[in-house]
């Protein structure tokens, strides 16, 4: 164990025994939904993991300490305290030096999970190449982390506010496998299809576990994306969503929103413009990803 991080006793015991553990991120608590939906979603994600016989390990920075395995009280704090920072790789050392709190992004959660020895991580969707990145160079740190940190990320693809084609091109260039779970097409978060394919299709958690063992056995390094489409009954209409995204992007541009503030701004506007339908879809795809990630961890 890395002595620079705090690991909850239940998580530490499971890791020591070789029992299955799944990492969960905390930006969904501080920056994903309004209170109390944020904390309720985080608790439900943990419940789903336990229902599958797996120990959940929600990751965050608390009092400057990378923390693996949050309590209900700690999640309540992240969901209600003002000014909780979004913690990607670049932010962790500064938060540690200041004894501050941070909610970990996909990149931050991957990094700390690897420190703890957790190999499977469930999230909503990965970050990616933003639309207009040819001028802004706005590319999520999630993609870079995937290229260098050996953690498998189960997600519902990339958010449809991104340039999904360029996101997949970036992952290919950096050698990150993109595997579709019972799909030939890369999902787009709120919708099951994006018009882009995956590198390979698998039908079971056992297949994914075998792939992970082969990848590690060959010392290939880096992470992998397991693309798990949103359950069909919660999928949003793609044409309606395209119009909503176009409107939200125009508003962000007019308001001068940029950098790491773009995604939360767009998701908040999409929530408003869909009458809350996007929030329920977001929750359900998270639970679906946690369930699959737990099954993979068990198979390992």
Tell how far CA 270 is from the center of its chain. 19
For residue 170, what are the contacts with CB-CB under 8 A and spacing of at least 6? 128, 129, 139, 143
Q: Rounded to the nearest 5°, which phi and psi values hold at 252?
A: -60, -45
Q: Rounded to the nearest 5°, which phi and psi values hold at 188?
A: -120, 50
Report in angstroms the alpha-carbon separations of 114 from 18, 65, 96. 15, 15, 18
283 labelled catalytic:
no
Q: How far apart are CA 282 and CA 123, in angstroms?
A: 10
Catalytic-labelled residue, pool 76, 86, 159, 235: 159
Catalytic-labelled residue, pool 25, 52, 76, 235: 25
Report the alpha-carbon angle 230-234-235, nearest 5.
65
159 labelled catalytic:
yes
Please give the positions annotated as active site: 25, 159
């Amino acid at each position: 164990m890395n002595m620079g991080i705090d690991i909850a006793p239940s998580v530490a015991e499971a890791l020591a025994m070789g029992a299955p553990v799944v990492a969960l991120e905390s930006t969904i608590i501080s920056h994903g939904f309004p209170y109390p939906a944020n904390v309720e979603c985080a608790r439900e994600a943990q419940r789903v993991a336990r229902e599958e016989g797996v120990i959940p390990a929600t990751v965050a920075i608390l009092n400057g300490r990378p923390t693996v395995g949050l309590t209900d009280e700690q999640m309540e704090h992240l969901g209600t305290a003002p000014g909780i920072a979004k913690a990607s790789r670049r932010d962790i050392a500064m938060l540690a030096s200041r004894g501050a709190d941070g909610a970990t992004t996909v990149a931050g959660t991957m990094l700390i999970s690897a420190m703890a020895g957790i190999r499977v991580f469930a999230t909503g969707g990965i970050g990616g190449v933003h639309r207009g990145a040819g001028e802004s160079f706005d590319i999520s740190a999630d993609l870079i982390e995937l290229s260098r940190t050996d953690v498998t990320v189960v997600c519902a693809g990339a958010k449809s506010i991104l340039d999904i084609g360029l996101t997949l091109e970036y992952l290919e260039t950096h050698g990150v496998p993109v595997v579709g779970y019972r799909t030939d097409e890369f999902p787009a978060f709120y919708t099951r299809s994006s018009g882009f394919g995956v590198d390979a299709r698998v039908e079971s958690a056992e297949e994914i576990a075998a792939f992970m063992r082969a990848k590690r056995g060959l010392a290939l390094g880096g992470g992998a994306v397991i693309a798990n489409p949103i359950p069909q009954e919660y999928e949003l209409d793609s044409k309606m969503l395209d119009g909503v995204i176009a409107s939200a992007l125009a508003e962000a541009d007019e308001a001068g929103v940029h950098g790491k503030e773009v995604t939360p701004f767009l998701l908040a506007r999409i929530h408003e413009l869909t009458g809350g339908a996007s929030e329920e879809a977001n929750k359900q795809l998270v639970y679906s990803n946690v369930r699959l990630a737990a099954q993979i961890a068990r198979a390992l």
